[in-house]
Amino acid sequence: MFRFCFCAVLPLCTSMFAAELPPTHTDESKVPAYTLPDPLIFQNGQKVETVKQWTEQRRAEIFKLFEENVYGRSPRNNGKFAAVKMITECPEAGPAFNGKAVRYQFALTFYTGERPAADSPVVDFLLYVPKVKSDTDKFPVFLGLNFQGNHTTTNDPEVLLRRNWNRDTGKYVLAKEEERGLAERRWCYEKAVERGYAVGTAHCWAFEPDFNGGRKLGVRRLMDKDGEELAAEETNTLGTWAWGLTKLLDAVCEQNKEGTLRQIDTSKAAVFGHSRLGKASLWAGAIEPRFAMVISNDSGCGGAALSRRAFGETVARINTVFPHWFCGNFKKYNGKEGELPVDQHELIALIAPRPVYVASASEDLWADPKGEFLSALNADPVYRLLGTEGFGNVKEQPGVNQSVGGRIRYHLREGKHDIVEFDWLQYFDFAERYL
């Protein structure tokens, strides 16, 4: 009897669940015909012909459309967040990687009012800087968020086991020793410092936990009024992470001025991210002109991939599974990508003329590698208008494992959705040339 019920009910449950999820496909023949908005045509139909028109008017127009329709108005721009202050402390600094680097561990405390409270949000920020060999050494810095805590990004035993979020209880717990280094293969600290780059990271959940309702638990709670609904154009989790990336840069700049990080060249800061954190890094590049280079690793839908192709993850799908990532207005475009006043090539155009790297992986169809490539390609006219070589002579998506382009650069790494040494080595080469 039990067996009968179980068998009868299970297919029903799965089909109900499946019915709630908007369908997706990875079939190129099903990609709808679409026309991309032209970044060099104003909304009123007028053409952008001069650098001045782009810099002073059209860029702002596109930026506003992204704010209102996709990522939401950044905390830094909405007036309420301006009052949030940050204190940077450095409880730990010491040698790492056999003396090749110095490891700094900062605690960034966010608060409003006179001084931090006992429960003020704290973000732990880990930074490896190459060891200084001469007084004139200046190192560029890569900044990016991580998925599970700083201690998971390395086996370095000195990385402090600090607060970490527990998703089930929605509370802070202490990070565990057995988690140390879990994501080490995704981080290339030692190679980075050998090549002369500093790399800094913080757990994205420390800025805001990654679930619907996380807003009440992260840094954004400082600006929430009790019971206040989030306005449809207000930023959400991805926008908060992007803002968080700008705070990491603030911390580096502040410590640079104070002398602790005088060996960092703050005019050479690259922002990077993988997957959902790649979406955040692209938006961070758009909101923060101090990021001198932007890297998107397999960022997919809502990142580098064109929404209008609706290949792999779609707008409807991402808004259903992750309702807290984008602003409320983005949901208006579920199944109606053609009505979006912008598409993701224009996000890349917002970064122009700064160097931007878009990376895909051949088996990562969910993130639509071709759509990511086409975004890079369609941002090229803006880079050219601004007097750069843009995507160089690239017109077609390259085969696997070839890095192509100029100031806009692209590769399709062989393999799965991931960030691995091959990706990092391309980013270091790119930085060497353009940062």
CA nearest neighbour of 388 among 380, 397, 377: 380
Q: Which residue, 276 or 370, is less far from ligand GTR as judged by CB?
A: 276
Q: Is 208 in the site for ligand GTR (CB under 6 A)?
A: no
Long-range CB contact pairs, 43-51, < 8 A, 24+: 43/341, 48/385, 51/385, 51/386, 51/387
The reply on whether position 199 binds ligand GTR by CB under 6 A is no
DSSP 396-414: S---TT--EESSEEEEEES
Provide φ and ψ at 299, rounded to 5°. -80, -25
Instruction: Give Dmax (Cα) for the chain.
Output: 79
Residue in 263, 275, 296, 360 binding ligand GTR, rule: CB under 6 A: 275
Residue 318 binds ligand GTR, judged by CB under 6 A: yes
CA 202 to chain centre: 12
Q: How many CB atoms lie within 10 A of CB 337?
A: 18
Which residues, in sequence order, are bridge partners of residue 198?
141
Q: Is 144 in the site for ligand GTR (CB under 6 A)?
A: no
Chain centre distance of CA 422:
19
Q: Least Å distance between CB 68 and ligand GTR?
A: 21
| Cβ proximity of 139 and 197 under 8 Å | yes
Nearer to ligand GTR, 244 or 300 (CB): 300
Indicate whether 301 belongs to the interface with ligand GTR (CB under 6 A). yes
Phi, psi dihedral angles at 35 (to 5 degrees): -120, 125
365 in contact with ligand GTR (CB under 6 A):
no
* Of 53 and 320, CB closest to ligand GTR: 320
Show the binding pattern over residues 234-253: x = contacts ligand GTR (CB under 6 A), - = does not.
Answer: --------------------
- C-beta of residue 299 within 8 angstroms of C-beta of residue 278: yes
Residue 300 makes contact with ligand GTR by CB under 6 A: yes
Tokens of residue 361, six digits: 């992986």
Q: Is 274 helix (H, G, I), strand (E, B) or coil?
A: strand
Q: How far is the CB of 73 from ligand GTR (least distance, A)?
A: 22
> Which of 59, 73, 195, 276 touches ligand GTR by CB under 6 A?
276
- 423 makes contact with ligand GTR (CB under 6 A): no
Residues in the chain, how many? Answer: 435
Unique residue bearing structure tokens 């759509």:
371
Active site residue 345: no
Phi, then psi, of 408 in degrees rounded to 5: -100, 130
315 binds ligand GTR (CB under 6 A): no
Q: Between 74 and 314, name the residue whose CB sits nearer to ligand GTR.
A: 314
**Nearest distance in Å: CB 335, ligand GTR:** 17
CB 284 within 8 A of CB 247: no
Instruction: Considering the complex, state which of residue 107 and residue 238 has its C-beta at the smaller distance from ligand GTR.
Output: 238
Q: What is the closest distance, in whole angstroms, from the C-beta atom of residue 123 to ligand GTR in the complex? A: 19
Span 152-171, contacts to ligand GTR by CB under 6 A: none
**Cβ distance to ligand GTR smaller for residue 350 or 365:** 365
Which of 233, 234, 313, 337 touches ligand GTR (CB under 6 A)?
313
- Assess 419 for contact with ligand GTR (CB under 6 A): no
**403 belongs to the catalytic site:** no
Pairwise CA distance, residues 315 & 364, whole Å: 17
| Euclidean distance between CA atoms 164 and 209, whole angstroms | 10
CB of 65 to ligand GTR, least distance (A): 21
Options 74, 275, 281, 403, the catalytic residue: 275
Under the binding rule (CB under 6 A), the answer on residue 149 touching ligand GTR is no
Active-site positions? 275, 417
Q: Which residues bind ligand GTR (CB under 6 A)?
A: 275-276, 300-301, 313, 318
